[in-house]
């Protein structure tokens, strides 16, 4: 790709609407200091200094899409509770639409609270439910998604699955069928529960652990022929067009048309791998919408994942930095 072509592709991201379906959550961070041990039990007492709330789960994918210049439309089901108000306020603060969010009084808004002292992660508290949507809410949710897809020009759909129950086999089947009729590419960041339900999608993006568990083939991470055999099994079972496997320090693997290519990881100062998968699926969706070939999709996605690993915490990718790195890579 020439420099002008790369810039043109990145500029085209600004025109895209990306629908994200998945489990959203609030990432809560409580900071404080530990000066003594509790007299009630052999545990530290933390004197809390401040607390911060951030968008998490599938909402982090929306933040990545937004940071790349595109328009994210987040679709999820949360609780009808006090934390739902916090979630809506966070969306508003980030200038993200809440039109795809449905409240259900039988569910709880997921909150993951991390307690941190002197940069040491002491404890995490999860407030959540993970059962599947009840049929009545599931039907409302599917109709709501289809309505958005019917009234907006959506360029790609991402299923961001965290196994919390928002994505069900019925949601997958009905949305993918509609998307394929409309020629809208579908991408999946899977988890175990629905792993085998994502049939006829465009791009399926498991990590290495999810690949070997899903394909039931025992292989080493560096055995690319073995990974290819596992990917062929999944291609057959899911009828997925592209299979993009993230291999952490070994980069990414992509298979399509009965062939594969590996892209090694860039040499970087890794600070935190959190959120890299969200970034990779985000840039892959925009590259698919821009009709790039699979190898270039894998190359740019690999660069994006590496860039966010240089930063501490879950942060969206910087578009200008990614553009510069992409130009450098292909020059």
pLDDT recorded at residue 271: 41
Domains in the chain, CATH or no CATH each: 3-25+56-107+130-330 (3.40.1190.20)
Measured at the alpha carbon of residue 118, what is the angle toward residues 114 and 121, in degrees to the nearest 5? 30
C-alpha to C-alpha distance for 84 and 101, rounded to whole angstroms: 10
List, run by run, the mean pLDDT of 10-residue segments along the chain (331 residues). 86 96 95 93 92 93 95 97 96 96 96 90 93 96 98 97 96 98 96 94 94 86 90 93 91 92 72 66 95 93 78 70 86 74
β-sheet bridge partners, residue 245: 253
pLDDT recorded at residue 106: 93
What does the H/E/C string look like for 265-309? Answer: CCCCCCCCCCCHHHHHHHHHHHHHHCCCCHHHHHHHHHHHHHHHH
Residue 257 per-residue DSSP state:
T
pLDDT recorded at residue 316: 77
- Matching residue, tokens 């079972």: 237
- The tokens for 103 are 């409240």
Pair 133, 168: CB distance under 8 Å: yes
Query: Closest Cα to residue 157, out of 331, 295, 289, 40?
Result: 289
Cα 13 to Cα 67, 69, 204, 324: the distances in Å are 10, 6, 21, 15
Greatest Cα pair distance, the chain, in angstroms, is 66
Pair 176, 200: CB distance under 8 Å: yes
Backbone angles phi, psi at 176, to 5 degrees: -65, -40
C-alpha to C-alpha distance for 281 and 188, rounded to whole angstroms: 8
Cα 280 to Cα 53, 64, 154: the distances in Å are 23, 9, 19
Residue 188: how many CA atoms within 13 Å on its side-chain side?
Answer: 30
Q: Which residues of 240-258 are buried (b: 16+ CB within 10 A; e: fewer)?
A: bbbbbbbbbebbbbbbbee
Backbone angles phi, psi at 185, to 5 degrees: -65, 145
Catalytic residues: 278
Query: Closest Cα to residue 139, out of 112, 168, 160, 117?
Result: 168
- The tokens for 318 are 């910087």
Sheet strands side by side (includes 44-57): 44-57, 24-37, 111-117, 120-127
């Amino acid at each position: 790709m020439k420099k002008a072509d790369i810039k043109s592709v990145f500029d085209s991201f600004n025109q895209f609407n990306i629908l994200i379906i998945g489990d959203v959550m609030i990432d809560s961070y409580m900071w404080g200091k530990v000066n003594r041990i509790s007299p009630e039990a052999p545990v530290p007492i933390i004197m809390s200094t401040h607390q911060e709330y951030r968008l998490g789960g599938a909402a982090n994918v929306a933040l990545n899409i937004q940071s790349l210049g595109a328009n994210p439309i987040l679709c999820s089901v949360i609780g009808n509770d006090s934390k739902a108000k916090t979630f809506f306020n966070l969306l508003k603060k980030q200038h993200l639409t809440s039109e795809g969010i449905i409240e259900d009084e039988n569910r709880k808004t997921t909150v993951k609270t991390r307690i941190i002292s002197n940069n040491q992660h002491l404890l995490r508290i999860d407030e959540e439910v993970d059962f599947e949507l009840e049929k009545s809410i599931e039907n409302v949710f599917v109709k709501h998604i289809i309505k958005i897809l019917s009234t907006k020009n959506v360029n790609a759909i991402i299923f961001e699955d965290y196994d919390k129950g928002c994505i069900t086999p019925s949601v997958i089947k009905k949305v993918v069928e509609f998307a394929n009729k409309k020629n809208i590419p579908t991408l999946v960041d899977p988890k175990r529960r629905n792993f085998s339900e994502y049939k006829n999608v465009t791009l399926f993006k498991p990590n290495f652990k999810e690949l070997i568990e899903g394909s039931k083939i025992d292989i080493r991470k560096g055995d690319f022929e073995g990974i290819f055999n596992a990917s062929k099994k999944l291609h057959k079972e899911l009828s997925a067009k592209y299979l993009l496997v993230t291999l952490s320090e070994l980069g990414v693997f992509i298979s399509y048309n009965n062939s594969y290519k590996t892209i090694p990881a860039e040499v970087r100062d890794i600070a935190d791998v959190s959120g890299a998968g969200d970034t990779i699926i985000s840039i892959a969706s925009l590259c698919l919408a821009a009709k790039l070939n699979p190898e270039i999709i894998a190359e740019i996605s690999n660069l994006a994942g590496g860039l966010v690993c240089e930063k501490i915490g879950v942060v969206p990718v910087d578009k200008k930095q990614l553009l510069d790195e992409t130009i450098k890579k292909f020059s």
